[in-house]
């Protein structure tokens, strides 16, 4: 089984975590099933960016993002070349190292 390594996130996973996950599961579902309460305001329908993650290792093992996901990612806070919506990133056979950004677009807009 591939491992999903979650890098430390001050609010959601302060010490980080290593999850054993089955291939075919989304990164979002794997985190939620293991007590990492990543925001997913659109209920995982690829209609927001609140579940945005940055795949630090294993990015090339993921299927490419489709056009809808790419369009949504353009709105994400802290977008990087290895950014994905965790509700759309399906774990394959390789380990992944994932960073949950410090902020989501919801958090940034609430501060103003």
Bridge partners (DSSP) of residue 53 are: 84
pLDDT of residue 102: 87
**Residue entry with tokens 């390789």:** 94
Three-state DSSP class for 78?
Answer: coil
Task: Return the structure tokens found at 67.
Answer: 């056009």
pLDDT of residue 24: 98
Residues in the chain: 112
Count of beta carbons in the 10 Å neighbourhood of residue 111: 6
Compute the Cα dihedral for 81, 87, 17, 62 and give only its sign.
negative
Task: Return the structure tokens found at 69.
Answer: 């996901």
> Residue 19 phi/psi, 5° resolution?
-115, 140
Q: How far apart are CA 21 and CA 30, in angstroms?
A: 7
Which pTM value belongs to this model?
0.91
The domain over range 3-110 is classified in CATH as 3.10.20.30: yes
The pLDDT tens digits along the chain (112 residues) read 999 999 999 999 999 999 999 999 999 999 999 999 999 999 999 999 999 999 999 999 999 999 999 999 999 989 999 999 999 999 999 999 999 998 766 544 444 4
Q: How far apart are CA 91 and CA 71, in angstroms?
A: 21
Domain-wise residue ranges, the chain: 3-110
Q: How far apart are CA 108 and CA 112, in angstroms?
A: 7
């Amino acid at each position: 089984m591939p491992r999903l390594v979650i890098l430390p996130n001050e609010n959601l996973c302060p010490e980080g975590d290593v999850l054993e996950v089955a291939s075919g599961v989304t990164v979002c579902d794997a985190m939620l099933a293991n007590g990492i309460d990543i925001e997913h305001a659109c209920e995982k329908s690829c209609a927001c960016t609140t579940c945005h993650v940055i795949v630090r290792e294993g990015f090339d093992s993921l299927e490419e993002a489709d056009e809808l996901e790419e369009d949504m990612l353009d709105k994400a806070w802290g977008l990087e070349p290895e950014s994905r919506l965790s509700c759309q990133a399906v774990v394959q056979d390789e380990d992944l190292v994932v960073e949950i950004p410090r902020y989501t677009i919801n958090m940034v807009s609430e501060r103003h």
